[in-house]
Amino acid sequence: MDRVLFLCSANYYRSRFAEYFFNHLAEANALRCRADSCGLMVGFWGNIGPISHCAVDGLKARGVPIDGVCREPRQVTEADFAAADLVVAVKEDEHRPMMRRLFPQWADAIEYWHIDDLDCAQPEEALPLLEDKVRALVARFGMPQSYAGEKDEHGN
């Protein structure tokens, strides 16, 4: 089974949304891939609770269930990089410098996206962009972008 690792700063909002949304699409289409997520600086930002209400609200709006109790944000480790087939950091300008400082051997080996955090973009702006990127990534693993579900407001 292929493993995707989504990275953001705190493992609270963007990477968690991407993890849940990716797994929802992969499972619904019987793909042999799953995602996990971690943060590069967990605890630094002072998160309240295990997952951002913005991520939960965005997932629910897209029909993605959040089952049971969510785990707390998790700090990425060297083992997480080694175990993943693909690592995606959700904001290059933010995460590439962190990667160079914390995990320089992996900094140029991962894929970088351009999805802003809450300090630069509201969820109504950022989550549709993240959704589109996750859909395209799932398609790379074998699922057509327009899977057997409803289309969103972007026609995806």
Query: Considering the domain boundaries, does residue 147 fall inside one?
Result: no
Domain CATH for 70: 3.40.50.2300
Residue 153: inside a domain: no
CA separation, residue 73 to residues 19, 39, 67, 109, 133 (Å):
12, 7, 16, 23, 22
Write out pLDDT tens, residues 95-106: 999 999 999 999
**Residue at 152 is within a domain:** no
127 assigned to some structural domain: yes
Is residue 18 left, alpha or beta, with left meaning phi > 0 and alpha meaning psi from -120 to 50?
Answer: alpha
**Alpha-carbon radius of gyration of the chain:** 15
Tokens of 114: 């351009």
Amino acid at 61: A
Number of domain units in the chain: 1
Mean pLDDT to the nearest integer, 133-143:
90
Task: State how far the Cα of 74 lies from the Cα of 38, in Å rounded to an integer.
Answer: 5
Residue 149, in any domain of the structure: no
pLDDT exceeds cutoff 90 at 67:
no
148 located within any domain: no
* pTM metric for this prediction: 0.88
In a domain, residue 155? The reply is no
Helix (H, G, I), strand (E, B) or coil at 43: coil
Does residue 21 fall inside a structural domain? Answer: yes
Contact 42, 7 (CB under 8 A): no
Q: In this predicted model, what pLDDT tens digit does every residue of 6-23 receive, in sequence order?
A: 999 999 999 999 999 999
Which residue range is the domain that position 75 belongs to?
2-140
Is residue 139 exposed (0-12), middle (13-18) or buried (19+ Cβ within 10 Å)? middle
